[in-house]
Structure 1
Amino acid sequence: MSKNEEIEEIEELEETTEEAVEEISVEETLKQELSEMEDKFLRAQAEIVNMRNRHNKEREDSAKYRAQNLAKDLLTALDNLDRALEIETNDEHGESMKKGIEMVREGMLHAFKEAGVEEIDSLGQTFDPNKHQAVQTIPLSEGQESDEIVQVLQKGYILHDRILRPAMVIVAQ
């Protein structure tokens, strides 16, 4: 082999090596781009799943608490029915009227229960600022505990796990 042939062969090898290096570099670039695209795809899929879950949760909450505004509005009417039942009557007509009011009240309470609205049990319970609103405190009497609710001025109501209205109470301190 002559020197020229060796030089040509070396140059051909160098060109082949450069081409192989370029091919490897292109292949690595393509692999990296593929990896980035796969990552973007997985992130987009995860975002779609999160959006679907968030949407489902919002729909469930909407259905669960659909009665909230109506129940809040009807609480005043229920309070008025309770006040009407406290009125003393001396005649049969008055008693008949009270019986009718009691039936309406029971119907409302049944509808509330069906919608998930419940009265907050307060009398004799320990004061909880999340469920009760203390409008007055009185000194402890014998047999009472500190922070015990001794009188309920206005009933409180809860819808599933949300407070519709806190109970207005008097607390022993």
Structure 2
Amino acid sequence: MEVDATALAGLQSEVSQLADLFKRRLFEDRSKNALIESVQDQVRAVNDLLRYREFEGLFKEALLAIDRLQSESSTPELVDSVVDELLEVFRRRDLVAVDDSGIFDPRVHEAIGTVPASADLRPNTIAAVHRTGYVLGDRLLRPAQVTVVVSVDD
């Protein structure tokens, strides 16, 4: 079987065009990947800057409270005042204490002890708080550690 020279030339032309197309697409893909990497680097840099700026105000306010502790004679009143000041700084940034005044809720409370129920203490209530818990926005930062009242089986 003899190959027609015209058909062969046509196939060679087609292969040449496909090779050229392949090379152009490969170059475009490399360019796109480089652009994507560049955008990702810029996004990371912006996120780092935003994170820094987000914490900058918090740190400045917390350092003022620390300065008060370091520059004044330590008294219980001063310590209470600085704690209140820091909690207010945190509250303005959406950090709030877990409600630990009522019913035990295992989603936000960690039971570290129990006491038996009595006339004054209803079952499944909080008898004592050992460490305050905190919620940041809608996420639990740390649970409150509490003692829970439990029923006593006779």
One fold, TM greater than 0.5?
A: yes
Counterparts of 1:15 and 1:141, CA distance in 2: 105
**Post-superposition offset of 1:101:** 6.2
**Cα distance in 1 for residues equivalent to 2:46 and 2:123:** 45
1:166, distance to aligned residue in structure 2 (A): 3.7
User: Counterpart amino acid of 1:135?
Assistant: I
Pairs aligned (count): 134
- Of 115, 132, 147, the residue aligned with 1:155 is 132
Residue 134 of structure 1, CA deviation: 2.4
Amino-acid identity (%):
20
Q: Does 1:113 align with 2:91?
A: yes
1:30 aligned residue (13, 20, 27)? 20
Aligned to 1:127: 105
1:153 maps to a residue whose letter is: H
SS at match of 2:147: strand
1:49 aligns with 2:27: no
How has the CA–CA distance of structure 1 residues 141 and 46 changed in structure 2, closer, same or farther, with 3 Å as cutoff? farther
CA distance in 2, matches of 1:125, 1:55: 45
- In the superposition, the TM-score normalised over structure 2's length comes to 0.58
Q: Secondary structure at the match of 1:109?
A: helix
Deviation at residue 28 of structure 1 after TM alignment: 0.8
Distance 1:105 1:24, change over 3 A: closer
Displacement of 1:16 in angstroms is 3.9
Change (3 A) 1:139 1:65: farther
Q: How does 1:44-83 map to 2 (within 5 A)?
A: 44-65=34-55, 67=58
Distance in 1 between residues matched to 2:88 and 2:118, nearest whole Å:
37
Cα distance in 2 between the residues matched to 1:39 and 1:144: 68
Instruction: After TM superposition, give the deviation of residue 23 of structure 1 in Å.
Output: 1.6
Q: Which has the higher helix share?
A: 1
C-alpha change, 1:61 and 1:104, in structure 2 (3 Å) is closer
Q: Secondary structure at the match of 1:111?
A: helix
